[in-house]
Structure 1
Amino acid sequence: MYKQHSYVCKKCERQGITSIKKAPVPKPLISNSLGSSSIVTETIIQKFQQKVPAYRQEKYWKSLGLDINRDNICNWQITSSKQVLQLIYDVLHEEIVKQDIIHADETSYQVIKSDKAKTYYWLFCSGKMEKRQVVLYHHAESRGHEVPLKFLDGFTGYLNCDGWGAYPLLPNVTLVACAAHIRRKFYEAIHSKKESSKSSPAYIGYSYWQKMFQLEKKWCDLAPEERLAHREKELKPVMDEFWEWLDNLDAMPKSKLGLAANYAAKQRSGIMEVLKDGRLEFSNNKAERMIKELVMGRKNWLFSTSLKGAHSNGVILSIMKTAELQGLDTRKYLNYLFTEIPNLAIVDHQTLMDCMSWSPTVQLNCK
């Protein structure tokens, strides 16, 4: 809360001149509202970090003497997302499509006021070696290829993803398959048939990928050039041996082993890309960990009422997860944005760059 003092010149008044001066007051995040920067920040922290939905926050705020209901909380988050965080999100979007490596994943989500029974969140995040780490959650009503086609317009690098059919339809993008998905298919084939023998085909297929992951684990902290050299010397022979084994495998097409073999065969060219660039990850686990943040929240929130609410969820999570990867205190950073951006004299690309999570000023104030 700010107190604004007004000043008047008595001498001027005696001469019939009215001269009133008021001390400047910072612009609030949301005018004529209890939703100050700090309160809105706290509602966001509770929902997205602690996974407490808006209706369960009501009692907490009333215990502090603030008569805040779930509608207030939801509307504040949508408004602050639209007026402040969306500006940062758009700059992050520009940044990620200029990078060389992106990881992608997607998950379903329910929106009550949507014509679709299911909507989707698409997750796009920077590769491990990118200097500026970006995480973006994009809400869409479709899981079709037109969504990443539009969102990744201008991107021409490597896209690390699973076997979902939308990704191969993207032009000018080199797909990198996820070895964890291939390994998982063979692992599921073992347990579906209760095969524990190490001589079973499903276990043999699984053991090949397990060996490859053990090799990759040893090289995870190496420079890209060193990792690539090790891959060529040690990983490639194991891969070649697996593909030769797979070519000679006789499995029922509809069995879990057959499905695992078919999936691996389709992902062959994608997973072999790791032998061309040491910056590439052997799995898409980074994207899966990021999408799990949303999945855990979904278990508590259950759904969004409107498409605006679902969109704001994605924007807010994007800002928070990107800030975390830059080593920031998320609470401090959100409060910083909610305080600084409404009071910028000019909002342009340069002033917004000064508000990005990697800027020296933000790093100094929000650690």
Structure 2
Amino acid sequence: MPATTDPLPTDIETLRAIIAAQASELAAERRRREASEAELAAAKAGLVAKALEVERLKVQLARLRRIQFGRSSEKIDREIDQLELALEDLEAAAAAEGMPADPAEPRASSPESRTRAGRRKLPEHLPRTEIVHAPFDACPSCGGALRQVGEDVREVLDYIPARFTVIRHVRPALSCRCCEGMVQAPMPSLPIERGLPSAGLLAHVLIAKYCDHLPLYRQSAIYARKGVELERSLLADWVGKAAALMAPLAEAIGRHVLAGSVLHADDTPVLDPGRGKAKTGRLWVYLRDERPHAGQDPPAVLYRYTPDRKGEHPQRELAGFRGHLHADGYAGFDALYEAKGGHPAAVAEVACMAHVRRKFFDEHAETGSPLAADALKRIGRLFDIERPLTGWPAEERRRVRQAQAQPVLNELAAFLETTLARIPGKGDLAKAIRYARSRWTALTRYVDDGRLEISNNAAERAIRPLAIGRRNWMFAGSDVGGERAAAIYTIVESAKLNSLDPQAYLRHVLGRIADHPINRIADLLPWIITIPDQG
């Protein structure tokens, strides 16, 4: 049967009323839909904001764990990396929704409120390119002449991608009109004789690999996108030759480090692929830094590569060292602390309280032990005493420690003794207590000498760049490759310790070192050299 519909009224006013009612109903439906969409958008924005805050708090928590309990494990480092990536994604999502990336930053509802809230100030040292947007030559209303009564300025941050350029060294050949003798200026020395790279390009490749952790194959791909084909093997050749050229500088830095009276030492594994199964080499760090006790000698760090972790390596490196050594409980250092030939030991051990604290933390995290928590609180008081002492003269630090830290240490020693007597002897808590008591003299040595530190965290911070780099280039490649990496790290990280831009420093050094007298290599040390135009 054919469909039937209600006949429309023929009265015009009735039709108008029907149309008006339908329009009103459609408008109401549209408002309901818009309200629902707004609620959905608000809910979505709220979820993004909450997720953003959760990820931010996770990152802060992971960082605090690393700070509070000394050297981070590979697991914590990986956790922080993954959380940072998740945080970046959420911040980008928040920006796409028009939300402030920082939840503490209010959403500006108008241009005026955005101005009042303030815009991030851009660094003053950056060059400025000014673009003037003049509106009209004459008044658009009456055609009259215009005069400037003020101006509005808004700065935006731009980035000009790095680019290659070719430097042409032109040496005119001149002949004498009288005697026909030939005259020509000598060719300036280059870091790599008859090579393609300038000092600036070599510095860039080295910093990208050892400071920014970009493997050479990735650099090669980046350069190819810029229209310059530089094979990985060619870049590797440049790195090897530059490292050989700067080896005397790395050795000079090492001599300065080992001439100190207080050192921090640590090591980290690095995979070295030999034939068949990869073997594990080690990168060792020896740090000299007198800034915490207002010392006057410049800071520097020495890295060494060894194919294994045998104690003979640090013993050989520190054979001529005399003084105090901050280190963990690695047995390979023990021979350095022994008296020989009727003479007192040349090296005094300074143990790391952060290592002790970490053992109690692990026990508390696993079992919730109140005794472990008590130990953590007592050790925490020792670190609280230390925080304001950074940068104080050694004697003032010693006096404060004697007055404030020594009583806490006495209480801690008594607590460890009584606790050990009343707990099972084979548990992890007992092991943590025995570890602390067995190293007590070395752990408390810092109280009597203001040059010393409560922990070895300084060396562990110096290891951090190696741990980051290891996740981007897993293999040293060979023993020679490991030694090369250690030398370059020595130069780069020592430059950073002396507040130099490492790329500007390497560029300047590589531009001079080929012709520099070997007996004046000290002129190129990061705390002596003057770098023009570093900014």
| TM norm structure 1 | 0.91
Preserved contact between residue 104 and residue 122 of structure 1 (Cα < 8 Å): yes
Match of 1:12 in 2: 179
Partners of 2:227 and 2:371 lie apart in 1 by 65
Partners of 1:304 and 1:242 lie apart in 2 by 44
Give secondary structure in 2 for the equivalent of 1:89.
helix
Partners of 1:91 and 1:253 lie apart in 2 by 50
Preserved contact between residue 127 and residue 280 of structure 1 (Cα < 8 Å): no
Partners of 1:141 and 1:221 lie apart in 2 by 37
In the TM superposition, residue 256 of structure 1 has moved relative to its aligned partner by: 2.3
Partners of 1:365 and 1:96 lie apart in 2 by 28
Preserved contact between residue 290 and residue 298 of structure 2 (Cα < 8 Å): no
Residue ranges of structure 1 left out of the alignment (5+ in a row): 14-18
In the TM superposition, residue 266 of structure 1 has moved relative to its aligned partner by: 2.1
Partners of 1:297 and 1:158 lie apart in 2 by 29
Counterparts of residues 29-178 of structure 1 (less than 5 Å): 29-83=191-245, 85-113=246-274, 117-129=279-291, 130=295, 131-171=297-337, 172-178=346-352
Preserved contact between residue 103 and residue 286 of structure 1 (Cα < 8 Å): yes
Partners of 2:463 and 2:357 lie apart in 1 by 20
Task: Please say if 1:310 is aligned against 2:479.
Answer: no
Match of 2:412 in 1: 242
Partners of 2:438 and 2:229 lie apart in 1 by 57
Residue ranges of structure 2 left out of the alignment (5+ in a row): 1-166, 338-345
Give secondary structure in 2 for the equivalent of 1:143.
coil
Seen in structure 2, the aligned counterparts of structure 1 residues 80 and 347 have a Cα distance that, compared at 3 Å, is: same
In the TM superposition, residue 153 of structure 1 has moved relative to its aligned partner by: 2.4
Match of 2:359 in 1: 185
Preserved contact between residue 97 and residue 153 of structure 1 (Cα < 8 Å): no
Seen in structure 2, the aligned counterparts of structure 1 residues 48 and 24 have a Cα distance that, compared at 3 Å, is: same
- 2:267 maps to a residue whose letter is E
Give secondary structure in 2 for the equivalent of 1:317.
helix
- 2:360 maps to a residue whose letter is F
Preserved contact between residue 199 and residue 507 of structure 2 (Cα < 8 Å): yes
Deviations 1:117-143 (A, max 9, x none): 211000000133452211111001121
Task: Please say if 1:28 is aligned against 2:164.
Answer: no
Match of 1:280 in 2: 452
Preserved contact between residue 505 and residue 531 of structure 2 (Cα < 8 Å): no
- 1:281 maps to a residue whose letter is E
In the TM superposition, residue 338 of structure 1 has moved relative to its aligned partner by: 0.5
Preserved contact between residue 249 and residue 521 of structure 2 (Cα < 8 Å): yes
Task: Please say if 1:347 is aligned against 2:347.
Answer: no
Preserved contact between residue 26 and residue 343 of structure 1 (Cα < 8 Å): no
Larger radius of gyration: 2
Preserved contact between residue 61 and residue 68 of structure 1 (Cα < 8 Å): yes
Preserved contact between residue 289 and residue 298 of structure 2 (Cα < 8 Å): no
In the TM superposition, residue 355 of structure 1 has moved relative to its aligned partner by: 0.8
Partners of 1:89 and 1:280 lie apart in 2 by 26
- 1:267 maps to a residue whose letter is R
In the TM superposition, residue 254 of structure 1 has moved relative to its aligned partner by: 4.0
Partners of 1:228 and 1:121 lie apart in 2 by 33
Partners of 1:245 and 1:70 lie apart in 2 by 59
Preserved contact between residue 158 and residue 175 of structure 1 (Cα < 8 Å): yes
Mean alpha-carbon deviation: is it higher for 132-141 or for 213-222? 213-222
Preserved contact between residue 192 and residue 256 of structure 1 (Cα < 8 Å): no
Give secondary structure in 1 for the equivalent of 2:264.
strand
Seen in structure 2, the aligned counterparts of structure 1 residues 181 and 363 have a Cα distance that, compared at 3 Å, is: farther
Preserved contact between residue 29 and residue 339 of structure 1 (Cα < 8 Å): yes
In the TM superposition, residue 33 of structure 1 has moved relative to its aligned partner by: 2.2
Preserved contact between residue 78 and residue 308 of structure 1 (Cα < 8 Å): no
Partners of 2:318 and 2:534 lie apart in 1 by 30
Partners of 1:123 and 1:43 lie apart in 2 by 23
- 1:291 maps to a residue whose letter is I
- 1:222 maps to a residue whose letter is W
- 1:147 maps to a residue whose letter is H
Partners of 2:332 and 2:357 lie apart in 1 by 21
- 1:89 maps to a residue whose letter is A
Partners of 2:286 and 2:425 lie apart in 1 by 33
- 1:125 maps to a residue whose letter is L
Give secondary structure in 1 for the equivalent of 2:284.
strand
Match of 2:93 in 1: none
Partners of 1:149 and 1:120 lie apart in 2 by 15
Seen in structure 2, the aligned counterparts of structure 1 residues 236 and 103 have a Cα distance that, compared at 3 Å, is: same
The match for 2:462 among 282, 285, 290 is 290
Give secondary structure in 2 for the equivalent of 1:249.
helix
Match of 2:530 in 1: 362
Preserved contact between residue 139 and residue 310 of structure 1 (Cα < 8 Å): yes
Match of 2:374 in 1: 204
Match of 2:170 in 1: 3
Preserved contact between residue 186 and residue 202 of structure 1 (Cα < 8 Å): yes
Deviations 1:47-100 (A, max 9, x none): 1222111111112111233211221222211211112x2111111121122111
In the TM superposition, residue 116 of structure 1 has moved relative to its aligned partner by: 7.3
Seen in structure 2, the aligned counterparts of structure 1 residues 116 and 147 have a Cα distance that, compared at 3 Å, is: farther
Match of 1:16 in 2: none
Partners of 1:141 and 1:152 lie apart in 2 by 17
Preserved contact between residue 354 and residue 362 of structure 1 (Cα < 8 Å): no
Give secondary structure in 1 for the equivalent of 2:390.
coil
Preserved contact between residue 123 and residue 135 of structure 1 (Cα < 8 Å): yes
Percent identical pairs in the alignment equals 27
Size of the aligned set, in residue pairs, is 353
Partners of 1:257 and 1:10 lie apart in 2 by 93
| TM norm structure 2 | 0.63
In the TM superposition, residue 284 of structure 1 has moved relative to its aligned partner by: 0.6
Match of 2:403 in 1: 233
**CA-atom RMSD in angstroms:** 1.8
